[in-house]
Amino acid sequence: MREAAVIGYTQSMQRRYAGAANESELIMPVVREVMQSVGVTQKDIDFTCSGSCDYLQGAAFAFVEGLNAVATAPPIRESHVEMDAAWALYEALLKIWSGEADLCLIYGFSKSSPGELRSVLTLQLDPYYHVPLWPDAVSLAALQARAMLDAGSLTERDMAEVVMRSRRAALLNPKAQLAAETSIEALLAEPRFVSPLRRHDCAPITDGASALLVASADTARRLCARPAWIRGIDHRMETGTLGARDLTRSPSTRYAAARAGVAGRPVDTAELHAPFSHQEIILRRELGLSDSVAVNPSGGALAGNVMMAAGLDRIGHVATRIMRGEADCGVAHATSGPCLQQNLVAVLEA
């Protein structure tokens, strides 16, 4: 397969409410900025692929509006996934691997603020058995956390530690929505939200957009001094029947990691798409990350969680660290569906 590397990444300010800006207005600046960062224009892009979700916007064809943010005359080669844009990146890689493209633009976007995110995500469940009961996204994650606590595979202190580290790391991320210096004790003193979760165990609701450029080998070397090479990438699905899963584990992450070749790489950095604190702990275990790995130096999804972009953001943050010379080898993870149902793992290297 042809080699490919991330050569540019930009995300918007992570905000609870993007105000009067609509989706296209959120996308346009990041698309322009990422292209300017390597000195290309839309004419140089062979393939454009985006990730979004109609139900977040409350209207069919969210991505059609989104496309207005990109120059499309003359028409472009384009596609869209109704998923996190990490999978849009995967589709772009297929184009690069098969020799159909050398430079691809990826973007993911959403405004979760206008709707009722917790209820919207309920509609991901089985419409006959689960939806009529209206279990919301936070409650399902709470079930998962409870299963872990009861199994003794983590403590509430472990969860608070994840949050504390995220808040602290986010202080160094100017785009982060939530950042603070706090302590495990202070976090544990907070009231419950959906037991056993506290509010800070849950990713915030965030509006925003992100854009990323991925290129084949020659193009990457031409445009970028230190490309972040994608050494391996794989994604796997698990059953949608929650009762049939062991929620304390993530076999799809483990399998994807094996296929992506995480083991044996000198991983120094990891960005894990864990919208809930306990999920980061599951992911670290399944990925087999050692204690020396810097996990979520951006603050992770707990510091800002743009639906349909947060997975791509993980890849973007690892790549940015590599491009800046702050990391040499990183693991990025993206998830989709309730309780880590579908997972993507990528290994990036300088």
**Min separation Cβ 25 and other proteins, Å:** 5
Interacting residues with other proteins between 232 and 261 (CB under 8 A): 234-241, 251-252, 255
Contact call for residue 123 and other proteins (CB under 8 A): yes
Site string for other proteins, 265-284 (x = CB under 8 A): --------------------
In this structure, are residues 138 and 202 in contact, taking their beta carbons and an 8 Å threshold?
A: yes
Torsion sign, CA atoms 284, 110, 232, 168: negative
- Other CB atoms within a 10 A radius of the CB of residue 74 amount to 7
**Min separation Cβ 138 and other proteins, Å:** 16
Candidate segments 93-101, 148-156, 188-196, 291-299, binder of other proteins by CB under 8 A: 93-101
Instruction: Give me 326's structure tokens.
Output: 């702050």
CA distances from 84 to 21, 243, 322, 343 (A): 21, 24, 22, 11
Interacting residues with other proteins between 151 and 170 (CB under 8 A): none
In this structure, are residues 320 and 297 in contact, taking their beta carbons and an 8 Å threshold?
A: no
Interacting residues with other proteins between 9 and 38 (CB under 8 A): 18-22, 24-25, 28, 31
Contact call for residue 55 and other proteins (CB under 8 A): yes
**Contact residue for other proteins among 115, 196, 261, 288 (CB under 8 A):** 115
CA distances from 225 to 6, 33, 221 (A): 12, 18, 7
Whole-angstrom Cα distance, residue 239 to residue 245? Answer: 7
Q: Give the position of tokens 């977040």.
A: 56
Candidate segments 163-171, 230-238, 310-318, 324-332, binder of other proteins by CB under 8 A: 230-238
**Min separation Cβ 273 and other proteins, Å:** 16
Whole-angstrom Cα distance, residue 91 to residue 79? Answer: 8
In this structure, are residues 6 and 319 in contact, taking their beta carbons and an 8 Å threshold?
A: yes
**Min separation Cβ 137 and other proteins, Å:** 11
**Min separation Cβ 236 and other proteins, Å:** 6
**Contact residue for other proteins among 120, 228, 346, 348 (CB under 8 A):** 120
Candidate segments 66-74, 208-216, 218-226, 310-318, binder of other proteins by CB under 8 A: 66-74
Neighbouring residues of 38: CB distance < 8 A, sequence distance ≥ 6: 7, 8, 213, 223, 224
Contact call for residue 83 and other proteins (CB under 8 A): yes
